[in-house]
Structure 1
Amino acid sequence: MKKIYRYGWLLAILLLCSCKKFIEVPAPVNVISSANVFTSDQTAIAVLSGLYSDVGKGIDNAGCFVGTRGLSLMLGLSADELTSYTTGANYVAYYTNILAAQGSGNEYWSPLYNFVFRCNAAIEGLNEPAADALTPAVRKQLLGEAKFMRAFFYFYLVNLYGDLPMAMTTDYKVNMLLSRVPQAKVYEQIISDLKEARDLLADNYPDESLLKTSNERVRPTQWAAQALLARAYLYTRDNANAEQEATAVINNSFLFSLPALNEVFLKNSKEAIWQVQPTTSFFNTEDARTFIIRASGPTTDSRNPVFLSSQLLASFETNDQRKDLGNWIGAVNVAGTIYHYSYKYKINLGNLNITGAAAMTEYQMMLRLGEQYLIRAEARAQLNNIAGAREDLLAIRRRAGLADGTLTANDKNTLLSAILHERQVELFTELGQRWFDLKRTGTIDAVMSVVTPIKSKGLVAWKSYQQLFPLPQSDLNKAKNLLQNQGY
């Protein structure tokens, strides 16, 4: 694959201890010291490049965001976006909202904390005197990337598990004794890291050397930090700051715009704020391979295990072009039964010519401009800027072919409901946005008390504690100060 990932083996050695679960990390053994790794631009860059490489992998290969058990799929099953075709126990557990400390539901804890650990190691290494040997601009960019990525991983941890142990060091003796701190404290750290990252990161996309600009949008920039900061502020109800950060991104029309629907998820699209380059040889994105159902239909294994739910399909308005077949939704007809699937990414077949980025046409989207319009619309509505909120909402709806006249909301509560609905049809199957939206807006009990019995064919009733996932029992057994989430 592209040279950006060429030195990933160094990271594997440097962070050997990250192969262990967060709570039981032993002292590092046989590790390349920071005195070696962080004295060379090339090897220091490789530390963060290896992190991005793993973010683009499935859960069986050190990742957790993409593919057959990635967060887009599993959180879509947990919410009301996807229907499980497979009867595999892991998928059914998420689909029927029956998770357990010793079963499904805890498998994202360890990969995400391993990512946090790697960020901590990079931050420590970059702050060592030995790192003075780095080119100052490279050191600054890498420190910003590490701070951004730590915030990114903690954002997913806090939204999946609630109160968290805040690991800010690689000292395993300290980490083993951590107890959980309230979500508000976690968000304080997320926001602090993102504000630092915003000031450290480049304002344009760097190339592999981090010293020149690039057309590749695969490394975080100032704008990625501001985009995630806008989201964090929205989630913590700091609407004034959410509006401010989203506005900064939206106003950068040189880099970002809202392209046509079928140009959004292309590699280096004008909507992309940050993307991850796929790393599976001969393929584009893992999400395309997972969501696009082949002509033979969905499968009982993990190849194409899900299709779009009737609840999601019914949420699209008449004339919404996002639901038109060939745009963001596809369909197959199998013996008279039609299965709809997410078609945001369109290239699911292998291609022997894909031996590097040049032959790829799609990258995995991590942050995009459309969400920023919806963040600002919601923040403005909460601030009683009804006209501004409505214009932001209309920007997204116009792109989808919906006429202005279909949105007549002029009061705050009606407009907020319209924005939540728009998020549902705009951000479906994108890294759990719907699941998180239901939780943060306090609508999850109302929605899931209807949806869960439907998904389980009447066998399971929704319980409010299920909005948080269980911690691994194995970690609870080893960490005396770590407590399980209620209900598990």
Structure 2
Amino acid sequence: MKKIKKTKYLLLFLVIFSCADPSLDEQVFSNLSPSNFYNNAADGDAAVTAIYNALNRTISLWDFGLSSTVGASHPYFTSRVGWRIEWADYTTSSGNGLSLPRSWNPLYQGIFRANVAISELSTRTFEGDEENTRIQLIAEAQWLRAWCYFHLTQLFGNVPMPLEAAVSVETAKLAATPREAIYAQIIADLEAAEANLPIIRTVPNEIGRPNVGTAKFLLAKVYLTMAGAQVNDASKMALAHSKIKEVIDNASTYGYELLPSYADAIYIDNNSERVWGIQQTQAVEGQGTAGTFVWAGIGSPNGGVPRGQGHGGWTQEFYDLYEDTDTRRDVTMQYSYIHSTTGEETFFSGEPVENYGGDPYQATWGIPNNKYRDSDQGCCDGDPDIVYYRYSDALLMYAEAENSLNGPTATAYEYINMVRARAGASQLIPGSHTQEEFAELMFTERLLEFTFEMQELYDVRRLGKVQEVIEKAPLPVANGTVYRPDFEVWPIPNTEINANPNLEQNPGW
């Protein structure tokens, strides 16, 4: 499928800092500091861009960061990779040195950079029109900081909450902040972002960055999460309901729409359904997704080049949840492949693939993921952007909140049916479900719509379904995992506990 690429804005901070005009030889760029930086909009933009670079690898499907949330929550996930199995069957530990720190560390790197940008830009005044840009950059950094804390508290519960740049190692050693206080700060940051971000992004190198609609969307998702099992504040459901309706009612103003094609919503970069995502590129090493390589359906036994690592896939039961007319199925999963030796279409039947192209490759780890695939990707850097939030999510969030507050009304059916109609799935008949049944339909619909968009774990936790998934998903069932309340949050990495005497491990880990 042809991918339409627009200008990438994710620049490497250090690259920006190392570029100097030869006519300015007397200025020492290696000694850049807050005292001689943050003097104009270009400086401020470089500082905020650095936040994105910190986040890129934790979201990338190569660096094993937040992609760990997929296997740890999906009721239809299977894998052959040891540490992904540990996530899926909840036998991982605080000593996990691979994916656990790679979820924790980049989020705090993003927070640190956001704190510096907010602090320094808040003490400056720019000239002319650049003053408005300064205010918008602060709002963007606040949105990004809120996004980081939103992930951290959902994943780990009570975590340290620095809001200022650390001036020494000792000042960085903070105790955990209660989750309620973290959510209060998240809301404050998002409200500030909502007030000061641009209404829409039209400048080519700014497309994809947060706008007012992005702030409203994330604020609604925060309220919806707070109304769920982790915080259990029922008063937030009405706030989620009204805030996401603001996004829907003003979608055209913010540049959002439900695209006619589900495939286009996934594969066309910077499309009008995308509320936010992390942009990827092959052009800069380390700035692309490795979705094709890591999640390849046919993997070599040692996980090496050229076929990939075969980290996991989906069960036949999940495949069968999709109706035959549902276009989301084949975008989400690759059910068959063309055999390199026979040239015939071959299905992922769970049997070993013998001598695929002359080597003993295997295809025994479920029906492979098909999102974020790049046909010309060699190994670790592919072009498809990582989709994080889409406008279809706004529609489903509203349907969920409507059902929670008022039951399965005609309005609730209308919004879920909009998403299903776009996919070619059958329409749900109003009045044919109880409130509880409709809630279950919403959970399944979110799996059908957003699988492998890293929403799964958060949905499972806020809906109080951790135990249900453990008792149903193939890997925890096969390994005899017994649910414990400790499983509602992840362990804090041992490296953080050992380095910070003020930080305590989550109970049970």
Is the TM-score greater than 0.5? yes
The 5-angstrom pairing of residues 148-297 of structure 1 reads 148-172=143-167, 175-207=171-203, 214=204, 217-237=207-227, 238-254=236-252, 255-259=255-259, 260-265=261-266, 266-281=268-283, 286=289, 288-290=291-293, 293=296, 296-297=298-299
Would you say the 8 A contact 2:41–2:126 is kept in 1? Answer: no
Within the candidate set 79, 85, 98, 1:84 is matched to 79
Aligned to 1:329: 333
Would you say the 8 A contact 2:34–2:120 is kept in 1? Answer: yes
Would you say the 8 A contact 1:86–1:300 is kept in 2? Answer: no
CA spacing shift, 1:285–1:401, aligned 2, 3 Å: farther
Aligned to 1:38: 38
CA spacing shift, 1:460–1:282, aligned 2, 3 Å: same
CA distance in 2, matches of 1:225, 1:78: 27
- Give the stretch that moved more between structures: 169-178 or 138-147: 169-178
**Shift of residue 442, structure 1, vs aligned partner:** 1.1
Aligned to 1:17: none
Aligned to 1:347: 374
Q: Secondary structure at the match of 1:471?
A: coil
CA distance in 1, matches of 2:106, 2:348: 40
Q: Secondary structure at the match of 1:264?
A: helix
CA spacing shift, 1:229–1:474, aligned 2, 3 Å: same
**Shift of residue 298, structure 1, vs aligned partner:** 6.7
Amino acid at match of 1:187: Y
Amino acid at match of 2:271: S
**Shift of residue 380, structure 1, vs aligned partner:** 1.0
Q: Which 5+ residue runs of structure 1 have no aligned equivalent?
A: 14-29, 57-62, 208-213
Question: What TM-score, normalized to structure 1?
Answer: 0.82
CA distance in 2, matches of 1:36, 1:7: 20
Question: What TM-score, normalized to structure 2?
Answer: 0.79
**Shift of residue 168, structure 1, vs aligned partner:** 0.6
Q: How many residues in Structure 1 have an aligned counterpart in Structure 2?
A: 448
Q: Secondary structure at the match of 2:420?
A: helix
RMSD after superposition: 3.1
Q: Secondary structure at the match of 2:392?
A: helix
**Shift of residue 407, structure 1, vs aligned partner:** 6.6
CA spacing shift, 1:311–1:192, aligned 2, 3 Å: farther
Q: Secondary structure at the match of 1:450?
A: coil
Larger radius of gyration: 2
Q: Secondary structure at the match of 2:406?
A: coil
Aligned to 2:434: 411
Aligned to 1:16: none
CA distance in 2, matches of 1:73, 1:299: 22
**Shift of residue 221, structure 1, vs aligned partner:** 1.0
CA distance in 1, matches of 2:428, 2:500: 57
CA spacing shift, 1:256–1:184, aligned 2, 3 Å: same
Deviations for 1:151-194, whole angstroms, at most 9, x for unmatched residues? Answer: 01011101110011111111345743522222121111111100
Would you say the 8 A contact 1:257–1:270 is kept in 2? Answer: yes
Aligned to 1:487: 508
CA distance in 2, matches of 1:190, 1:31: 33
Would you say the 8 A contact 1:5–1:46 is kept in 2? Answer: no
CA spacing shift, 1:151–1:336, aligned 2, 3 Å: closer
Q: 1:363 aligned to 2:385?
A: yes
**Shift of residue 130, structure 1, vs aligned partner:** 5.9
**Shift of residue 109, structure 1, vs aligned partner:** 1.6
- What is the percent sequence identity of the aligned residues? 22
